[in-house]
Amino acid sequence: MPELQSLRPDHVPPLLVFEQENRAYFRRTVPDRGDDYFARFEERIQALLAEQEAGICHFHVLVDPAGAVLGRVNLTDVADGAADLGYRIAERAAGQGLATWGVQEVCRRAVGAYGLTALRAAATLDNMASRAVLARTGFTVTGETRLSGRPGLTYVRRLRP
């Protein structure tokens, strides 16, 4: 069973492998991060770790028993008791309930460890899998948006202790 871990410096190498191996897969349903993201990967992760230390964000990785990263579930822009949820699961782990489990676990941490009362999310209209995860984990549609020019929906989930 994979484990949800808070992002740490030792996750950088397996996280880079995860992002590189799944880049084409992710591009099918979410905006591509661009070449610069990979060229400056370690620098970017160090900046994320600093944000996490400051309490602005909470980054998590789903790690298999061998230490390979199978997914990410992140809470960003933490303010006023709320945060934005984002997640991505490796192609080889898709369809196994890992995204649903990871989102549920992060929702529990959002209440218990981070003291949050609401989470926001967004998904493109053509990302049916992500929209299904949000529905299964208690998020409700709040409106429409555009994500890198693609039509999408916004969601919210109110959290209770």
- Residue-range domain boundaries for the chain: 3-158
Read off the pLDDT band of 139 (50, 70, 90).
very high
Residue 154 in this model has a pLDDT that exceeds 90: yes
Q: What is the mean pLDDT of the chain?
A: 95
Q: What is the DSSP letter of 55?
A: T
Evaluate if residue 142 carries a pLDDT over 90: yes
Inter-residue contact 86 to 78 (CB < 8 Å)? no
- Dist CA 146 CA 64 (whole Å): 33
pLDDT at position 32 is: 81
CATH class of the domain comprising 3-158: alpha beta
User: Exposed, middle or buried by CB within 10 Å (0-12, 13-18, 19+), for 65?
Assistant: exposed
d(CA 146, CA 126): 12
pTM: 0.93
pLDDT band at residue 29 using 50, 70 and 90 as cut-offs: confident
pLDDT at 98 over 90: yes
What are 60-83's pLDDT values in tens digits? 999 999 999 999 999 999 999 999
Q: Where are the beta strands (DSSP E) in the chain?
A: 3-6, 58-63, 69-79, 82-89, 118-124, 140-147, 150-158
Percent composition of the chain: helix, strand, coil (DSSP 3-state, to 5):
40, 35, 30
In this prediction, residue 148 has a pLDDT band, given cuts at 50, 70 and 90, of confident
User: What number is the average pLDDT over the span 147-156?
Assistant: 93
**In angstroms, what CA-CA distances link 50 with 81, 86, 115?**
20, 18, 20
pLDDT at 10 over 80: yes
**Six-digit token pair at 53?**
């230390």
pLDDT for the residue numbered 25: 94
What pLDDT is recorded for position 18? 97
For the cut 90, the answer to whether the pLDDT of residue 91 exceeds it is: yes
Spatial distance between the Cα atoms of 59 and 57, rounded to a whole number of angstroms: 6
